[in-house]
Amino acid sequence: MTNGANDVLDVAVDGSIARLTITRPDKRNAVSDTLMEALEAFFSNPPKDVRVVILAGEGGHFSAGLDLAEHVARNAAETMRHSRNWHRIMDMIQFGGLPVISLLKGAVIGGGLELASATHIRIADKTAFYQLPEGRRGIFVGGGASVRIGRILGADRMIEMMLTGRKYDAEEGLRLGFSHYVCDSEDDAKEKAAELATTVAENAQLSNYVMIQALARIEDMSKADGLFTESLCAALTQTSEDAQEGLRAFLEKRAPSFK
């Protein structure tokens, strides 16, 4: 096992799984530029043997959103550049090629919910709650919520959530799609994350990569373009060595061993 840490993000690598932990419990793991820079540093150059990432928060919360104590007055152009930089880093998490599992607990608010929505598998425990309070603070989302969370909720429900500052609990979040699983406790959630990380890490790397890269983009396409892209992805994966190994494993009634 190898470990790396800075003031805001602890990185622990154990074989094919990297565990990233936001280490700002005194701030309820609020999102800051320093944290975003640490995430960028990892996802721009992950360890070569890592196949899956688990992202969590230290203490009782995943992330309570933007750290307003570090708010810097910016003009419109500076604010837009700042937002676009966060978009770039969130895209690195979503489209970097590594499956990312997030462990959600306590506050998953504002920028914390934006960060969670950039991950591919979201596991909550029963303490998790979700909120987009920007409308109640006279501001607007800037880390990608209007696209990623908008796709989860739909525009109509997201408008109501932002206008009212409405808060959803863990079970409501599961029904809405904020999480894919809800576990009884934090320990159960960690166990589920480890189980799923092992499963995903055993998949063929190419098919994992293609699923991450293609499916969200196909959603943006016309029906005809989406179907054509699907065929390209099928041609790429189904003619690979891993596909041949998967077929042999099925016929031989054994688990596949992908490179």
Catalytic residue among 58, 114, 186, 202: 114
Q: What average pLDDT does range 146-172 have in this prediction?
A: 96
Residues 6+ apart with CB under 8 A from 44: 92
Q: What average pLDDT does range 53-66 have in this prediction?
A: 96
Q: At 165, is the pLDDT very low, low, confident or very high (cuts 50, 70, 90)?
A: very high
Assess whether 134 carries a catalytic annotation.
Answer: yes
The more confidently predicted of residues 223 and 248 is: 223
Q: At 158, is the pLDDT very low, low, confident or very high (cuts 50, 70, 90)?
A: very high
The per-residue pLDDT for 5 is 52
Using a cut of 0.85, tell me whether the model's pTM lies above it: yes
Task: Say how far apart CA 257 and CA 232 lie, in whole Å.
Answer: 24
Half-sphere exposure of 132 (CA within 13 A, CB side): 28
Assess whether 186 carries a catalytic annotation.
Answer: no
Catalytic residue among 58, 78, 134, 230: 134
| 85-125 pLDDT, tens digit each | 999 999 999 999 999 999 999 999 999 999 999 999 999 99
Residues 6+ apart with CB under 8 A from 15: 49
Domains of the chain in sequence order: 2-201 (3.90.226.10), 205-251 (1.10.12.10)
Phi, psi for residue 43 in degrees, rounded to 5 = -75, -20
- Give the single-character DSSP code of 107: E
The per-residue pLDDT for 1 is 46
